[in-house]
Amino acid sequence: MPKQIPWWAGGIAMSLLFYFSFSIWGADRSIGASTGMAYISTMLFGLDSSHYEYTKEIESSGAWEALMLLGVFFGGLFTSLFITKSFHISLIPTLWKERKNKSVPSRMFWSFIGGFLLVFGARLAGGCNAGHVLSGGSQMAISGFIFTILALGTGMLVGRVFYKKKKACDV
């Protein structure tokens, strides 16, 4: 088995999954992930729907996505153990070592901040890469277009400031 599928195969597989989920034969809704994240967090922190307005608002969509995320975890685990055989405990990504630093506490600190910003930002915007960029873009939603341009644009700008420049010899 190959260790990785090329971009076009990934894109085709992903859109077939999207057709299934979107149609009445599947779930009759599009795929999203960040509402599920918020839902899991309201369960963990005990923010129940009788006291918190937001929990009440996202409950039905959040429960669906939380269950889907459970599937996502096992789908990833299965593939990394049996297909790509890439499962191994790791702390710092290679590119981070190259462009930022080799410090574990630094990577962990920034991972926490990054994760916080991702979910907090996604909740403000009402979706993430899955809900806005992929599902929103596929339905030509104006909200999806605005999100995609701003999120990727900001990422590119922040990336230039946050990370070290590429070594001259690599260019």
Partner 1 sequence: MFDIIAKEEHGSILTILVIGFFFGAIILYSRLDKFEKMAGFLLFEDTLAIRMAMTTVGLSSIGFYFLVANGYASFDVKPTLLGGLIIGAVLFGTGLVILGKCPAAFFVSVSEGRIDALVGVIGGMVGGAVFTYFYPYIQKIMEPNFGKIRLPDFFTEYGMVITVVFGVLLLVGAYLLPSLEYKDPADFKNSKD
Min CB(82)–partner 1 separation in Å: 10
Residue from 122, 100, 98 nearest 37 by CA: 122
Min CB(50)–partner 1 separation in Å: 13
Instruction: Give the integer Cα–Cα distance in Å for 170 and 153.
Output: 24
Backbone angles phi, psi at 168, to 5 degrees: -60, -35
Instruction: Give the integer Cα–Cα distance in Å for 6 and 98.
Output: 24
Tally the residues of the chain: 171
Backbone angles phi, psi at 109, to 5 degrees: -60, -50
Give the SS3 label for residue 89.
Answer: coil
Q: Which residue, 130 or 169, is less far from partner 1 as judged by CB? A: 130
Joined together, the tokens standing for residue 53 give: 């307005």
Min CB(40)–partner 1 separation in Å: 7
H or E element in which residue 104 lies: helix 104-125
Min CB(51)–partner 1 separation in Å: 10
Min CB(168)–partner 1 separation in Å: 15
